[in-house]
Amino acid sequence: MSDPTAALHLAEAGPEYGVGVYRDVTEWAATTPGWMQSAGEIGTELGILVFVALFAVQWWRARTRDDRSMAQALLAPAAVVVGYGLSEIIKNWLHEERPCRAIPNVRTIAACPAPGDWAFPSNHSVIAAASAATLLVTWRLVAAFALPLAVLVALSRVYVGVHYLHDVAAGALLGVVLAPLLLLAVRAPGARAVARLRQSPALKPALGATAPAAPRPEAAAEFHATASHR
């Protein structure tokens, strides 16, 4: 490890204050039923695939909606990818060792990742939290499902033994803050870009056509008034 600084302290502090919680969780996890352990190991990856599926459904729905809806459907997963990329940069800068390698005599559900696959922050937590946060902005109907799923994905990484608790907490914080801010920052220019791209016949299968604008309330009132005098 390099000389400790304020930025490095949290990652380097894992062996100082993260060991007790990690041992408690992994020792408890080792006593849980086999089906629960299997569900935890599968679910830690399956949760990410569920978010991918939600983004795919959101894009499909946006093909018949307005330009802003399509822009959000395209930009939300892009913001998640940016968050993931930043997470990887931080990982490779801080070099926090995985607890399943750093702590002796621990029993984990999942196989410990290979050396050089660093721990802080948790990429799964970044992706899950960023996905849930952008869906909260763009598709609130599914937020009640997406937010608990993100929590489960993050905590499952400690349960299966591949992360400290502070790894997943930092990853969730990074994802939930960065992704929606990026989305909101580029949503307006993104909608304008979608409006232009939808003019191309080659892109219509992917982007759909611009949805007709909803009638203005005053125009609708005037139409009903005219119709009632006929």
Query: pLDDT tens across 135-154, in order?
Result: 988 888 888 889 999 999 99
3-state secondary structure of 179: helix
- What is the band of 16 on the pLDDT scale with cuts at 50, 70, 90? low
Predicted confidence at residue 13, as pLDDT, reads: 42
pLDDT of residue 203 exceeding 60: yes
Range of weakest confidence among 38-42, 53-57, 58-62, 217-221: 217-221
Count of CB atoms situated within 10 Å of the CB of 175: 32
Residue 215 identity (one-letter amino acid): P
**Residue that is written with structure tokens 């499902």 in the block:** 145
Average pLDDT score, the chain: 82
In our burial notation (b when 16+ CB lie closer than 10 A, e otherwise), range 89-128 reads ebbeebebbbbbebbeebebbbeeeeeeebbbbbbbbbbb
Q: Is pLDDT at 10 greater than 50 in this prediction? A: no
pTM, whole model, 2 decimals?
A: 0.78
86 vs 24, 60, 82, 123, 167, CA distance in Å?
30, 28, 6, 10, 14
| Mean pLDDT of the 194-201 span | 82
Judge residue 8's burial from the number of C-beta atoms within 10 Å of its C-beta, 0-12 exposed, 13-18 middle, 19 or more buried.
middle
pLDDT tens column, 69-100: 888 899 999 999 999 999 999 998 988 888 88
CB 168 within 8 A of CB 158: yes
Burial class of residue 2, CB neighbours in 10 A (0-12, 13-18, 19+): exposed
Whole-angstrom CA distances from 1 to 5, 89, 117, 202, 217 are 11, 16, 15, 52, 64
